[in-house]
Amino acid sequence: MAGPAGSAVTTAHSAELNLTLRVNGASHRLRLDARATLLDTLRERLRLTGTKKGCDRGQCGACTVHVDGRRVLSCLTLAASVHGRPVTTIEGLAQGTRLHPMQQAFLDCDALQCGFCTPGQIMSAVALVREGHDGSDAEIREYMSGNLCRCGAYPNIVEAVGKGGSS
């Protein structure tokens, strides 16, 4: 059964979809279960393991990626919903061996401890700077509040976001 032009295609006897995911500038044609999350697809099918599975309930922010330049929680996003749309993961921020300014700021400010939440923190930080929400430490804390760090590196994270946004 075919859908509207450019939409995913399903067959009458399966719950699988033929999708094209545009991740970090590359197109990937995949056949996926209609219930597959973007997070599981990135990690298991595309082997992009920088995006972390934390709570798997949209509460910790470890799985944050960008879709159409906006931050989303990939554990709550169906892969089918991003068919043909640009997705950026932590692996897509650097330009070759040159880190994105926000990645460098996190290193320079020691804004990590165990590092598990760091990819999601950085993806949210890049988005909040793009959104213009880096005017003060209080504003940064507010717009980063959906990203949890169990190690408590918050002061350094706020410092890194301020530094990475001014780069």
Q: Which amino acid is at 65?
A: V
| Domain of residue 70, residue span | 9-89
Mean of pLDDT values over 37-58: 97
Residue 112: per-residue pLDDT:
93
Mean of pLDDT values over 98-107: 97
Mean per-residue pLDDT of the chain:
92
Among 39, 56, 89, give the residue marking a domain's end: 89
> In angstroms, what CA-CA distances link 103 with 22, 92, 120, 150?
22, 11, 11, 19
Give a yes or no: residue 47 inside a domain: yes
Q: Are strands 86-88 and 16-23 parallel, antiparallel or unpaired?
A: parallel
Residue 166: per-residue pLDDT:
77
Same domain (yes/no): 130, 153: yes
Residue 165: per-residue pLDDT:
80
Same domain (yes/no): 79, 138: no
Higher pLDDT, 1 or 25: 25
Per-residue model confidence as pLDDT tens digits over 116-161: 999 999 999 999 999 999 999 999 999 999 999 999 899 999 999 9
Mean of pLDDT values over 108-122: 95
Residue 63: per-residue pLDDT:
98
Task: Report yes or no: 124 and 103 within 8 Å, Cβ to Cβ.
Answer: no
Q: What is the CATH number of the domain that holds 145?
A: 1.10.150.120
Rounded to whole angstroms, the Cα distance separating 57 from 53 reads: 9
Among 61, 89, 117, give the residue marking a domain's end: 89
Mean of pLDDT values over 24-42: 97
Residue 13: per-residue pLDDT:
55
CA 51 to chain centre: 6
Mean of pLDDT values over 61-87: 97
Give a yes or no: residue 24 inside a domain: yes
9: confidence class by pLDDT, cuts 50, 70, 90 = low
| pLDDT beyond 90 at 12 | no
Q: What percent of the chain has pLDDT over 90?
A: 88
Chain position carrying tokens 């530094």: 163
